[in-house]
Structure 1
Amino acid sequence: MRVAMAQISSDDDPAANLSTVVAGIRDAAAQDADLVVFPEAAMCRFGVPLKPIAQPIDGPWADAVVAAAVESGITAVAGMFTPADDGRVYNTLLIAQPDGTRVGYDKLHLYDAFGFQESRTVAPGTTPVTFDVGGTTVGVATCYDVRFPGLFSGLARLGADVIVVPTSWGAGPGKRHQWEVLVTARALDSTSFVVGVGQAVPADPDVADSGAPTGIGHSQITDPFGTVVAAYDESVKLDVHELDLALVEKARKQLAVLANEIHLPTALTPHRIDTENPDGRA
């Protein structure tokens, strides 16, 4: 599979960001990519009100992305925001297929961490999502989801050989290291390729220093054995990478964590020893 990582830097103008996404789809297709992955919040960056810009997954912003995918004959994944019933929005990944179909994944784990409270304005999703690219099953996760290994092993059990993780990672001490380690750890957990695609560092230093998770760059692909096969710096970049999917089958035979995993009950009864009568005699 040929996968393009489109490390862009979204601003607060959905129309301008749409032009960037459409151009990236065409660029990736011209390089014979099968799949192009854009970051979380490709529609509009964090740090501004999201409800006014949210659109349904069959709205005009998504329509234009789907049309570009159809025109270019490529599958595209891009982060957008869709309305939720409770007045918040969903942090949605739009999956646009070259046959015109579309699927949405609503982020399961919301970023209520490091002083940011995503759940204040964003509603959580409920359902994992996979899709097909040329006969290969691809799973999706979004940003903070990468801290939850059960989602990744679960996607692998649903058949995913590749898991894409669009993100808009928050800056801060140690955060880049955490991102790089987590992408690699989730590849090992799931014995899958993990394709983590981030927002580039914003050109405007005021946006970069706003406290919102606006991106640090450093998109990364890790293979099922934990080897980093592609890593970007913090700048805007789009490139195409060949994934040797035979490594997935090889890893699942040699590193059989999915087959060997023990599913523990949610509540464990500890084994206790009576210290006054340790051998159990009356």
Structure 2
Amino acid sequence: MKIALAQVLSTSDPQHNLAIIRDNAKQAAAAGASIVVFPEAMQVAFGNPVASFAEPVNARWAGIIRQQARDLGITIVAGMFTPGENGRVRNTLLAAGRGVDTHYDKIHLFDAFGYQESDAVTPGDAPVQFELDGTTIGLAICYDLRFPRLFLTHAKAGAKISIVSASWGAGPGKAEQWKALAQARAMDTTTFVVAVDQADPESVGHQLTGTAPRGVGYSMVVDPLGQVIAQAGREPELLVVDLDLDLVDRAREKLPVLKNMVEL
């Protein structure tokens, strides 16, 4: 399976962000990818009043994503915001195209490093997987990467790939943690982990203030034994990677961690 990682910078303008998604999805489709993955917060970047932009998954913004996916013959995964409880939103990952139409609401909220996502976001309560070309794929968002149980749930449901869309907060050691956690979740579950972050705004000269997480870059694909097989830098970049899905079966034969796991 060819999968594209669109490491981009979303903006305060949902319409412009749709153009970013369309342009990168078009390039991904031309490169032969069957799925293109974007970061979280693609509808509108963090640091903006996200509640004023939140829409249901059956409304206009998500509908345009579905139309782009149909027009290009590719599956698109992209982060958006949907209405939550008591004026809050849900941090949602939409997957649409080629027989796929589902969404995942982020379960683990980023109340860490001086940022309180729960002030503005209602947590989700259910893991989500979907099937593409006979392969089961699990969905996760940013801070979820620190919680192995979600990825184990995906693997036990048959997932060979876990997608993580992020707007990873910058700070000392945060880029190193991003890589280490992606590798750990791949090794925990002997699955491919496809981790797609927003590009680092400073890489293109943007100086940001406040605590809103905006991205460090370094989107990557980690194989089932923990090897990073493709990685972007800090700048906007489109990576197209051909995944050998048989490697999952071979890894699980050599290292049957899922079978050996003891529930404590």
The answer as to whether partners of 2:94 and 2:103 remain within 8 angstroms in 1 is: yes
Which secondary structure does the structure 1 equivalent of 2:136 belong to? strand
**How far 1:3 sits from its partner (Å)?**
0.3
Q: Partner of 1:17: helix, strand, or coil?
A: helix
**CA deviations over 1:178-216 (Å, ceiling 9, x no partner):** 000000000000100000000001245332x43210011
2 CA distance for matches of 1:45 and 1:56?
A: 17
Q: Is the 8 A contact 1:69 1:97 kept in 2?
A: yes
Unaligned runs of 5+ in 1: 265-282
Contact 1:72 1:98 in 2 (8 A): no
Partner of 1:109: 108
Distance (whole Å) between structure 2 residues aligned to residue 170 and residue 85 of structure 1:
25
AA of the residue aligned to 1:65: I
Shift of 1:136: 0.4
Alpha-carbon distance between aligned partners in 1 of 2:75 and 2:155, rounded to the nearest angstrom: 20
Alignment of 1:36-51 (within 5 A): 36-51=36-51
For each residue in 1:148-188, what CA deviation from the matched residue of structure 2 results, as whole angstroms up to 9, or x when unmatched? 01111110001100000000000000000000000000000
Flag structure 2 segments of 5+ consecutive residues without an equivalent: none
TM-score normalised over the length of structure 1: 0.91
Q: Which aligned pairs between 1:78-93 and structure 2 lie closer than 5 A? A: 78-93=78-93
- 2: CA distance, partners of 1:25 / 1:96: 12
Give the 5 Å matches for 1:110-129.
110-129=109-128
SS in 1 for 2:207: helix
Residue type matched to 1:84 in 2? G
- Given residue 55 of structure 2, which amino acid in structure 1 is its aligned partner? Q
Determine helix, strand or coil for the equivalent of 1:81. strand
* Corresponding residue of 2:27: 27
Distance 1:120 1:82 in 2: 15
- Please say if residues 37 and 77 of structure 1, whose CA atoms lie closer than 8 Å, have aligned partners that are also in contact: yes
Judge conservation of contact 1:197–1:219 (CA < 8 Å) in 2: yes
Deviation, structure 1 residue 89: 0.3
Q: Secondary structure at the match of 1:172?
A: coil
8 A contact 1:66–1:98 mirrored in 2:
no
Question: Helix, strand or coil for the counterpart of 1:230?
Answer: strand
Q: Does 1:97 align with 2:104?
A: no
- Matched residues in 1 for 2:206 and 2:9: separation? 13
Q: Equivalents in 2 of 1:204, 1:159: separation in Å?
A: 42
Q: What's the counterpart of residue 252 of structure 2?
A: 252
Q: Compute the TM-score of the two structures, normalised by the length of structure 2.
A: 0.97
Question: CA-atom RMSD, angstroms?
Answer: 1.0
SS in 2 for 1:235: coil
Residue type matched to 1:60 in 2? R
Residue of structure 2 equivalent to 1:57: 57
Partner of 1:15: 15
- Count residues in correspondence: 262
Partner of 2:207: 206
- Structure whose alpha-carbon radius of gyration is higher: 1
Deviations 1:85-124 (A, max 9, x none): 332100000001224x521100000000000000000000
